Structure 1
Amino acid sequence: MQTVCRDAPGCPEPGPGYPDLGAVPLVALNVSVRRRLGLYLNPRAAVAADWAALAEALGYEYLEIRALEAQPDPSARLLDDWQGRGGATVGRLLELLRDLGRHDILAELRGRIEEDCKKYLQRQEQPVQVPAVDSSVVRTLEMSGITTRDDPYGNVPELFDAFICYCQKDLHFVQDMIKELEQTTFKLKLCVFDRDVLPGSCVWSITSELIERRCRKMVVVISDDYLQSNECDFQTKFALSLSPGARQKRLIPVKCKAMKNEFPSILRFITICDYTNPCTQKWFWIRLAKALLVP
């Protein structure tokens, strides 16, 4: 059953093209929407339900709420934690906000939330193949020949040890990573988009294919510039959706430089490799290589 904010002032009735928000996981919401939610929910006020009221509605215990209270951005931490518990959907979040009387949030963010959900659902769509009718041709046209060493006929797709998620301003660090992990005794094979991916295809489709099917793990290069990248935001959330709660040790965050902004809350529950710590820097590349070599 579709969950929408139909009781909130100004919220549209569901119609053609309107996503079923009750079926969209919370991971679909991007960073900017989450930050905006924090601006509404973080302030403690007697006149409006805040993040603590939302936590209570989600069934969080008193001690859990007290722990969240110590966080600099309790709303973001609450959403990240709820997301990892399972059953967290965009529709459920909107339903709770409506029940809590936060129609102001629904009125402002409904359009942006709907847009995030539509983009998420579009990225999840898989190409439909006609069974038993030369499906290999469809595969060749769709996802073969996307990297520099791919077999153009799709017989032997190129595989990698790790997909490197990074923004352009951190490319110099990625180049150092290539020297340390590929050109040494580790002999790892990294997927670096600017180097390995051929131009001319849909960025989102290629990225999803590489992360899910071609790369065993993913390294996320974290910096202030990373926080502003829509591409990095999508890649990180997509990888997390493949391994909720980091159960498969699939995603490895790497802090490459000192940051003015807070470390991404969505990655705080995963052990990081910190290149900025001078005390442990000499072990940095060894730790990262070993993490990528783990089955």
Structure 2
Amino acid sequence: MAGSSPSPSPSPSGEDEEGGGWRAAPLVALNYALRRRLSLLLNPGAAVAADWASLAEALGYEFLEIRAFEAHADPTAQLLHDWQRRASPPATAGALLDALRRLHRHDVLADLAPAIEEDCKKYLQRKREEQAERPVQVPAVDSSFPRMSELRGITTQDDPMGQFPEMFDAFICYCQSDLPFVQEMIQELEHTDHKVKLCVFDRDVLPGTCVWSITSELIERRCRKMVVVISDDYLESEECDFQTKFALSLSPGARQKRLIPVKCKTMKKEFPSILRFITLCDYTNPATKKWFWMRLAKSLLLP
């Protein structure tokens, strides 16, 4: 037929062969190469085809928000990054495909839809394998391992049903005495053009659940990176010590650039030895202070 798609596209039902519903997979399932390809297709403005700005409008963004994306070298990537942080509407692969279909970007669908489906199925398969590998616990004997219900609704913007957990760019590891610096970090990274979403325990985590369970969940599954705010008081904090060592265990040798140390104050004590091999972001250095927030923001927004 004349109106048929030039290449295979995802099934209308959105179900994979196992009935798992790959279209409901969150946008985080899409890999970097696929996102880059999407940027190459949508970034160039063209009078005859809908571009990234049209996609932003289709996803519910307002005029001023769209104008803000124009300042970025890769507006499509910034749009996807911002959209997957929004609580509503959910940023899913299916929603992305539906928006592109409404914009009549059948060329993009023909090029990327099979890859999107493949990424989503791989993502869901990994999740199923992770779930299967968890040890079975008998509650009457040992309830130390957190139940799934315990990890639902742990942050202020969480979905209570656990289907769309709140995600963050970075978990902030800090001690209470350094909270004023963390508040400055919030102003510089969240309320500026950087638009970094931080996980600040005192602000974002709801009370009533085991601290260690929540911390592990946030660092490992909800936050792409972790900022360690270093000071003399940090060295005395058991919570900070646990968080740092847990994050390092997830990325031995800092291979994934997952952990970013930030020196917020002049120190009298020795800098922690376990962080010496990772590049430091030094807020106390007057010669580089004017570049401090820009460097930190770019580090946190790296894939």
What interval of TM-score do these two structures reach, taking the shorter chain for normalisation? 0.5 to 0.7
* CA positional deviation for 1:126: 5.6
Q: Of 219, 228, 236, which residue of structure 2 is paired with 1:228?
A: 236
Show CA shifts across 1:94-133 (max 9, x none): xxxxxxxxxxxxxxxxxxxxxxxxxxxxxxx967379xxx
Show CA shifts across 1:63-109 (max 9, x none): xxxxxxxxxxxxxxxxxxxxxxxxxxxxxxxxxxxxxxxxxxxxxxx
TM-score by length of 2: 0.52
Alignment RMSD = 1.8
Whether 1:253 aligns to 2:281 is: no
Q: What is the alpha-carbon distance in structure 2 between the residues aligned to residue 175 and residue 181 of structure 1? A: 10
Q: Of 282, 286, 290, which residue of structure 1 is paired with 2:294?
A: 286
* CA positional deviation for 1:192: 0.1
Q: Of 217, 227, 236, which residue of structure 2 is paired with 1:219?
A: 227
Partner of 1:108: none
Q: Of 252, 264, 276, which residue of structure 2 is paired with 1:244?
A: 252
Partner of 1:268: 276
Cα 1:158–1:127, aligned 2, differ >3 Å: closer, same or farther? farther
Q: In 2, are the aligned partners of 1:169 and 1:225 still within 8 Å (CA)?
A: yes
* CA positional deviation for 1:155: 1.1
Q: What is the alpha-carbon distance in structure 1 between the residues aligned to residue 230 and residue 134 of structure 2? A: 29
* CA positional deviation for 1:263: 0.5
Q: In 2, are the aligned partners of 1:166 and 1:220 still within 8 Å (CA)?
A: yes
The letter for the 2-side match of 1:265 is: S
Q: Of 171, 192, 206, which residue of structure 2 is paired with 1:198?
A: 206
Q: Of 194, 207, 215, which residue of structure 2 is paired with 1:207?
A: 215
Show CA shifts across 1:167-189 (max 9, x none): 00000000000000000000010
* CA positional deviation for 1:139: 5.8
Q: What is the alpha-carbon distance in structure 2 between the residues aligned to residue 268 and residue 242 of structure 1? A: 17
The letter for the 2-side match of 1:239 is: A
The letter for the 2-side match of 1:183 is: H
Q: Of 270, 273, 277, which residue of structure 1 is paired with 2:285?
A: 277
Cα 1:127–1:201, aligned 2, differ >3 Å: closer, same or farther? farther
Q: In 2, are the aligned partners of 1:222 and 1:253 still within 8 Å (CA)?
A: yes
Q: In 2, are the aligned partners of 1:161 and 1:189 still within 8 Å (CA)?
A: yes
Q: What is the alpha-carbon distance in structure 2 between the residues aligned to residue 187 and residue 226 of structure 1? A: 27
Q: Of 168, 172, 180, which residue of structure 2 is paired with 1:160?
A: 168
* CA positional deviation for 1:229: 0.1
Equivalent pairs counted in the alignment come to 164
Partner of 1:180: 188
TM-score by length of 1: 0.54
Q: What is the alpha-carbon distance in structure 2 between the residues aligned to residue 161 and residue 155 of structure 1? A: 19
Show CA shifts across 1:228-251 (max 9, x none): 000000000000000000000000
Cα 1:126–1:221, aligned 2, differ >3 Å: closer, same or farther? farther
Cα 1:276–1:126, aligned 2, differ >3 Å: closer, same or farther? farther
Show CA shifts across 1:142-199 (max 9, x none): 2110000001111110000000000000000000000000000000100000000000
Q: In 2, are the aligned partners of 1:166 and 1:222 still within 8 Å (CA)?
A: yes
Matches within 5 A, 1:54-73: none
For the residue of structure 2 that corresponds to 1:161, the secondary structure is strand
Q: What is the alpha-carbon distance in structure 2 between the residues aligned to residue 286 and residue 203 of structure 1? A: 32
**Deviation >2 Å, runs of 4+:** 125-130
- The percent identity for this pair of structures is 82
Show CA shifts across 1:178-221 (max 9, x none): 00000000001000000000000000000000000000000000
Q: What is the alpha-carbon distance in structure 1 between the residues aligned to residue 192 and residue 211 of structure 2? A: 30
Q: What is the alpha-carbon distance in structure 1 between the residues aligned to residue 159 and residue 137 of structure 2? A: 20
Cα 1:251–1:268, aligned 2, differ >3 Å: closer, same or farther? same
Q: What is the alpha-carbon distance in structure 2 between the residues aligned to residue 142 and residue 277 of structure 1? A: 42
Cα 1:162–1:156, aligned 2, differ >3 Å: closer, same or farther? same
Partner of 2:150: 142
